Each structure stands twice: as C-alpha cells, then as structure tokens.
C-alpha cells in the first residue's frame, strides 16, 4: 500500500458459478494482501455471491442480457445496461478504484464500461478457451487479459497472459491427493454434467456402465450428478443393472469425490477442467454441443493434447462408444495412472496468486492509460 492508503479492487462478475468461482478466489487473495474489495454485479449475480467473504462489499447495478426475456427483454435490455453503466460510473468517479477486474457475463458489463469511461486501470479474466461476449467486447479496451485456459482464442493483435483458472480452497486442499489406479477393488467413476444440457449424460452413461465387461462392472461405484427431472430414471437404470450408484442433483463434496475417483466423466466447463487438472484425474470430456462458440471443446484441448483426457463430442456419442473408452481406461491401470499424472502436470494450483500478482502489477504501473 502506498502512503498507508488501502488499495481498492472492484470485481465485475456474475451470471453463473463459472464466472463467480474464479472471481471469489481473486477476492480472497486480494483481501489477504490487505486490499479493499468490492463486487459489482446485478441482482441475479448477487444470488451466486454467497461464497464471497463477508469483507467483500457488494454493489448491485442494473444489467440485462439479450439472450432471455423474449422480444420485450431484448428491447428493454439496452436501457437496463445504460442505467447500470451510469450508476457504476458515478460510483467509480467517487471511489476511484486502483483496478477493475472483469470476469465476463452480462452483470460485468456496467462496471467494465464504467471503468473504461472513467479511465481506471482494468483487466479481464477469461475462463474459457474462447472469449465470451462481454469479454470479447472489452478485449481491446483493457490493459491486461488473463487467460484461464491455454491457448485462448483472442482478437488479432491482442496478447493474453496465462494465469490459469483459480479454483476453490476445497479443491486446493485435495491437490496432493495420490491417485489410486483402477484395480481389483472398488473403482469410483464420477459423472458431473453441470447445470446445462446434462440430459445426454443421464441417457447414455448408465447404459454405458451396464455394457462394461463383467470383471470391470463388478468393481464399479458410480457417483452421478443428474438433473432433477432425470433423477428417478437414472437411479432406476443403475438399480436395474445392479451397479452401485449414488445419484443426486447436487454434490456438495465434489472435490473429495474427484480425489477418490479412478475416472471422471464430465462436461468441459472451465471450472470443471481446472478442478480435474489441479487434483489430477483421468477424464472423458463431453463438451456441451449447444455452446455458442464451442468453448468447451477449446477448454478440453489442453488435457486432450497431453493424453490426460479423451474428448467425445455429443455427435456420435452412444452407450457402446462410451463403454469402449471407459473400459480402455479402467482396464489399463498403467494408462490411467499416466493420464492422471499428465492432468496434474497441467494443473495450476497457484492461478489465484498469479492473477492477484497481475492486479498488483497493474495498480503499480506508471500511467497505465497509455496502453489502452
């Protein structure tokens, strides 16, 4: 801190846990460094902020997305965004934050626009391998771009800094958990589909597990996260084949289950990929086919290229094709162990510290406005 004055970071984030988890990790790091931290989000984003430390101040601004609300929502969205920008700009003129950090999502738009208008030092952190809409809009209007996934597709002439995706403390606590390769004992498979489009996993995975060779199936223990509307059907499918399965809409102990797993079957969301990498587990990644920019395929690229994961697009995914890949991993302990080691080698448990260092560097830079 210069002159004994506490430095101030405004974090602009919201929308989903994918934006909020890394934002929360940065907030924790900056508080530990003695900074004052404010979260700028909208009413919806505020509902995802329960995990933020109590010391983080909240500023709720008006925002909107063009993706929901029908015709009326699309027509009114610009007015909500404008009101949010005006309110955020007034607050920013008063508080003069040292740095503004955006994590994407429409709730981040007002604060990032205000930071640009008031000429505050600013950066964005992109979790995925492809820039989201809001981060893409500000990519040429910020002083630093921190990339959670590498490589990240960036506009021509724009340079990113690979910081990794910050993970939760509960994940970091499992980073040193040794991998136990599959063998003649209970073998755990964790199935996590995220909040979007997990139905295909509920349809395909139980049938794939049932199609495994008997010597693999008898050791199988499955933990399957399913949508509420699929819960009963998925539970019944496992019960019909005699496979021990824990099926739930939400697991509050995912890091522990990751650490215990011999294999993970997952969507390729940025946070999931980061968790799998930091803990270091073999995985089969099934990107969300409806993602606008196919960012989940980009997210998986690093693990797949390192032979730490198998990529299986939704197109052509069947119980038979999935069973073959599961058997190839669970039936080959040496391969499974090598995949786990390769995943761990790509993990970045210090991502939050790297991102915090970038914030401090930007705050201390001389005349940061000259570069944007």
Q: How many alpha carbons lie under 13 Å from residue 166 in its C-beta half-sphere?
A: 24
pLDDT bucket at 45, cuts 50 / 70 / 90: confident
Q: What is the pLDDT of residues 197-207, one digit of tens each?
A: 478 999 999 99
Which helix (H) or strand (E) is 246 found in, with range?
strand 244-248
Q: Which pair of tokens denotes residue 257?
A: 């289950």
The answer, yes or no, to whether residue 152 has pLDDT greater than 60, is yes
CA angle 227, 232, 236 (to 5 degrees): 125
Could you give the strand order of the β-sheet that contains 220-225, starting from the edge strand earlier in sequence? Answer: 244-248, 220-225, 187-192, 263-266, 283-285, 309-311
Q: How many alpha carbons lie under 13 Å from residue 289 in its C-beta half-sphere?
A: 11
Q: What is the mean pLDDT of residues 119-144?
A: 96
Burial category of 117 from C-beta neighbours within 10 Å (exposed 0-12, middle 13-18, buried 19 and up): middle
Q: What is the pLDDT of residues 46-100, one digit of tens each?
A: 777 778 999 999 988 876 554 555 566 566 667 667 888 999 999 999 999 999 9
Q: Which pair of tokens denotes residue 307?
A: 């032979």
DSSP summary character for residue 153: B
Distance CA 39, CA 324 (A): 46
Distance CA 77, CA 100 (A): 23
- β-partners of residue 58 are 39
**Across all residues in the chain, what is the average pLDDT?**
91
Distance CA 208, CA 200 (A): 12
Q: How far is CA 28 from CA 7, 25, 354, in A?
A: 14, 5, 13
Distance, CA of 133 to chain centre: 16
- The answer to whether the CB of 124 falls within 8 A of the CB of 362 is no
pLDDT of residue 84: 84
- β-partners of residue 310 are 284
pLDDT of residue 81: 78
Q: How far from each other are the two terminal CA atoms of the chain, in whole angstroms?
A: 25
The answer, yes or no, to whether residue 264 has pLDDT greater than 90, is yes
Distance CA 172, CA 256 (A): 11
Nearest to 12 by CA among 145, 152, 122: 122
Helix locations, 306-349, DSSP H = 319-330, 333-346
């Amino acid at each position: 801190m210069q002159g004994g004055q506490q430095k101030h970071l405004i974090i602009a984030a919201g929308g989903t846990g994918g934006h909020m988890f890394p934002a929360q990790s940065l907030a924790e790091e900056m508080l530990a460094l003695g900074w004052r931290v404010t979260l700028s989000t909208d009413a919806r984003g505020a509902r995802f902020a329960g995990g933020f430390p109590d010391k983080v101040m909240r500023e709720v601004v008006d925002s909107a997305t063009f993706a929901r609300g029908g015709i009326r929502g699309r027509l009114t969205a610009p007015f909500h965004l404008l009101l949010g920008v005006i309110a955020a700009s007034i607050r920013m003129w008063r508080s003069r934050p040292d740095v503004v950090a955006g994590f994407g999502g429409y709730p981040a738009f007002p604060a990032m626009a205000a930071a640009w208008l008031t000429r505050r030092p600013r950066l964005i952190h992109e979790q995925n391998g492809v820039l989201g809409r809001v981060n893409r809009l500000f990519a040429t209007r910020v002083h630093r771009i921190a990339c959670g996934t590498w490589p990240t597709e960036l506009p021509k002439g724009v340079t990113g800094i690979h910081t990794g995706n910050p993970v939760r403390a509960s994940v970091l606590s499992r980073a040193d958990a040794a991998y136990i390769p599959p063998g003649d004992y209970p073998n755990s498979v964790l199935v996590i589909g995220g909040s979007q489009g997990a139905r295909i996993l509920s349809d395909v995975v139980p049938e794939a597990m049932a199609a495994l060779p008997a010597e693999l199936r008898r050791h199988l223990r499955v933990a399957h996260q399913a949508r509420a509307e699929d819960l009963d059907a998925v539970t019944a499918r496992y019960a019909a084949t005699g496979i021990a399965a824990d099926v739930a809409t939400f697991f509050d102990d995912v890091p522990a289950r990751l650490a215990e797993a011999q294999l993970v079957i997952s969507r390729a969301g940025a946070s999931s990929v980061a968790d799998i990498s930091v803990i270091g587990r073999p995985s089969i990644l099934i990107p969300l086919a409806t993602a606008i920019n196919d960012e989940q395929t980009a997210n998986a690229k690093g693990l797949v290229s390192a032979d730490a994961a198998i990529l299986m697009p939704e197109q052509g995914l069947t119980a038979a094709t999935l069973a073959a890949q599961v058997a190839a991993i669970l039936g080959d302990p040496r391969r499974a162990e090598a995949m786990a080691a390769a995943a761990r080698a790509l993990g970045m448990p210090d991502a939050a510290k790297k991102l915090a260092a970038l914030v401090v560097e930007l705050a201390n830079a001389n005349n940061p406005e000259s570069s944007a």
